Structure 1
Amino acid sequence: MKNFSKALVGLDLTEMDDILIKKTITFIEFLGIEKCYFIHIAKDLAIPQEILDNYPDLVAPGDESVEAIMADKLKQFNFPDSVEVEVFAEEGSHPLDTFLRWARIKDVDLIVMGRKETLEGSGSLAKGVAKKAPCSILMLQEKRPVNMPKKIMIPTDFSSHNHMIFEFGERISKEVGAEIVPVNIYEVPHGYSKTGKSFEEFAEIMKENAQKDYQKFLLKKGKKQVACQFILRDKSDDGEILLNHALEIGADMILLGSRGKSKSAAIMLGSTAEELIAKNNLIPMLIFKKKGETIGFFEALFKI
């Protein structure tokens, strides 16, 4: 798969870096990465005492010391020589803005971020990057074993921009032999009781309507028949519903897309995607964005 020739990987000088580097190595061929940038961004690049204890010979300025630590990690894990590598450390009062600026400067196709489950860290930078990045994002979880995906869940609302996600999912499926599992959340509208039907009866009506919409969606672009799973919305938010369902069916990757309603909106995520990103620190997630449509809107997004 040649979608992602240039990748930017965010490191934070914690144990998570070891996990993220090893997992990135596993996915390199799958993603088609030819050049990989590793970046560490901090408000203050002064070296923490625990790092100095582990690297007592460090005497260089902060940024050079951090870059040396990162380069050493890559050597430690035998990062492939076939991939061109660049490491750099940046100081900035607004890490998210700095990270996204470098993603633009380097014109990367993919950003790789780690999601912590038990290790310390809020994950706020990863969530912000996922929301505003001008390219696709791969989020790799701390505890998940490293394997090529075999079952990929694709949340869908059958809107037109979902065709791009399905096409991308079909390519992944073909290349690695993965099963694609589309999932749609439907709901019973308020006021259903005025129709004289029970909740269960109206839920069945809404499910049948969603099934018809899915068939129209497939026919519009001549997609092959792939069974879609339909979930009735309950009191949980959509992110929790989708994560629980992914765990239930044994999905080992979730494929999401941006809203795609316009060029300015294509860079952003819908509320369901944001909820899922906030909830999910268990299953690898690839957020696919069509690169190149959003660069003109990049600076304005820093204000959002």
Structure 2
Amino acid sequence: MNKTLVVALDLTEHDHTLIGYAKQLQSHYNIKHIHFIHNIKVSELDELLTEMLADVQIVPIIQRNLENKVQQIFQEQSSYTLTLLEGDNTEFGINEWVKNQKEPATILLGWKSAENGTGAMAQKLIRLSQADVLLVPKDSTFGINRILIPSDFSPTFSRVKNKVDALGGQQVQVLKVYHIPSVFFPFIDDEATQQKAEKLAKTQYAELSKKLNIAPSWQLKTQYRKEKSVADIIARESRLFRADLVVLAAKGSNSIPSIFLGSTTNELINKEPFQSAIYVVK
């Protein structure tokens, strides 16, 4: 876990989950200091509300609200700081603040349902920032025992492997999802092709295990994708494995420039949250 942990609060009920999760991370990884951050979008106040608040200092009110939330869980004020930003672009503001810290960082975000929308913010932050992003579902508690790694065995797998080693999961399952385009089905034996694809995946994993010194305790699971998307399969396998954490790279094997987000990661963070937290490795 990166020793700079930045927790993005948004004045919703999800803040309590994030603050509690951050406290558990701090204790488990001996993180000396947590950075809580909130961006105030002053431009979102309409004209009528602005007139009503003309004599009210909104920043101190928000500051007190967030301080009260944090102090319910963090007893030692020296173990955290709370920073308020003011700007129209929350993602840009957080990214610039993190960049100025000049240290490897992990940004903790609430992972919300589609209608409440964390996806767009997470997408932008992952594109903009060099920091890892950890998405936490509401009412989730920290766990690290069971980690699922979806991977296409592209070069980014080594970064994910190193991150999981640092996180220290006790049970790790690597998930390889493969797909055979349906256009070929009239001309090939579907079952035989699946067997060959599985054999190839196992061979690739064996080579990676040797090259990257992967722990023998890690398990490989291959999954054939028919109609379902890769993100749907990841969600299902996460439930079956009872994963505490799903760890994947921001982008996989495609040749799209790094400013764009991989299609699987993009789809996954826009899904309805399931029980696992999502750790996106940059």
Shift, 1:47, TM fit:
8.8
Ranges in structure 2 where 5+ consecutive residues have no aligned partner: 47-54
Is it true that 1:132 corresponds to 2:128 in the alignment?
yes
3-state DSSP of counterpart to 1:228: strand
Find the counterpart in structure 2 of residue 143 from structure 1. 139
Is it true that 1:199 corresponds to 2:195 in the alignment?
no
Identity of aligned residues (%): 20
Whichever residue aligns with residue 34 of structure 2, its letter is: C
Find the counterpart in structure 1 of residue 49 from structure 2. none
The answer to whether the 8 A contact 2:113-2:271 is kept is: no
Supply the distance in 1 between the matched residues of 2:42 and 2:170 (Cα, whole angstroms): 43
Supply the distance in 1 between the matched residues of 2:231 and 2:157 (Cα, whole angstroms): 18
Find the counterpart in structure 2 of residue 278 from structure 1. 270
Aligned partner (choices 86, 90, 103) of residue 91 of structure 1: 86
RMSD, matched Cα: 2.8
Aligned partner (choices 130, 149, 165) of residue 170 of structure 1: 165
Find the counterpart in structure 1 of residue 15 from structure 2. 17
Shift, 1:65, TM fit:
2.3
The answer to whether the 8 A contact 1:257-1:287 is kept is: yes
Shift, 1:183, TM fit:
0.4
Shift, 1:280, TM fit:
5.2
The answer to whether the 8 A contact 2:6-2:35 is kept is: yes
Give the 3 Å change call, closer, same or farther, for CA 261–101 of structure 1 in structure 2: farther
Supply the distance in 2 between the matched residues of 1:104 and 1:171 (Cα, whole angstroms): 22
Supply the distance in 1 between the matched residues of 2:20 and 2:28 (Cα, whole angstroms): 14
Find the counterpart in structure 2 of residue 74 from structure 1. 70
Whichever residue aligns with residue 11 of structure 2, its letter is: L
Give the 3 Å change call, closer, same or farther, for CA 103–61 of structure 1 in structure 2: same
Whichever residue aligns with residue 128 of structure 1, its letter is: K
Find the counterpart in structure 1 of residue 33 from structure 2. 35
Aligned partner (choices 168, 179, 187) of residue 179 of structure 2: 187
**4+ runs of 1 displaced by more than 6 Å?**
45-48
Give the 3 Å change call, closer, same or farther, for CA 249–113 of structure 1 in structure 2: same
3-state DSSP of counterpart to 2:42: coil
Give the 3 Å change call, closer, same or farther, for CA 140–11 of structure 1 in structure 2: same
Shift, 1:246, TM fit:
0.6
Supply the distance in 1 between the matched residues of 2:230 and 2:38 (Cα, whole angstroms): 32
Whichever residue aligns with residue 128 of structure 2, its letter is: K
Deviation readout 1:228-268 (Å, 9 max, x if unpaired): 00011122221111111111221111011233889x95565
The answer to whether the 8 A contact 2:245-2:279 is kept is: yes
Whichever residue aligns with residue 27 of structure 2, its letter is: E
Find the counterpart in structure 2 of residue 299 from structure 1. none
Shift, 1:135, TM fit:
0.7
Q: What number of residue pairs does the alignment pair up?
A: 269
TM-score for both structures, normalised by structure 2:
0.84
Is it true that 1:254 corresponds to 2:246 in the alignment?
yes
3-state DSSP of counterpart to 1:208: helix
Give the 3 Å change call, closer, same or farther, for CA 273–32 of structure 1 in structure 2: farther
Is it true that 1:102 corresponds to 2:90 in the alignment?
no
Give the 3 Å change call, closer, same or farther, for CA 137–32 of structure 1 in structure 2: farther
Find the counterpart in structure 2 of residue 293 from structure 1. none
Is it true that 1:159 corresponds to 2:154 in the alignment?
yes
The answer to whether the 8 A contact 1:192-1:202 is kept is: no
Whichever residue aligns with residue 24 of structure 1, its letter is: A
Aligned partner (choices 112, 116, 136) of residue 112 of structure 2: 116
Find the counterpart in structure 2 of residue 239 from structure 1. 231
Supply the distance in 1 between the matched residues of 2:22 and 2:43 (Cα, whole angstroms): 25
Give the 3 Å change call, closer, same or farther, for CA 260–203 of structure 1 in structure 2: closer
Find the counterpart in structure 2 of residue 298 from structure 1. none
Ranges in structure 1 where 5+ consecutive residues have no aligned partner: 49-58, 290-304
Shift, 1:208, TM fit:
1.4
Supply the distance in 2 between the matched residues of 1:117 and 1:234 (Cα, whole angstroms): 26
Whichever residue aligns with residue 57 of structure 2, its letter is: P
Supply the distance in 2 between the matched residues of 1:75 and 1:222 (Cα, whole angstroms): 43
Find the counterpart in structure 1 of residue 5 from structure 2. 7
Find the counterpart in structure 2 of residue 62 from structure 1. 58
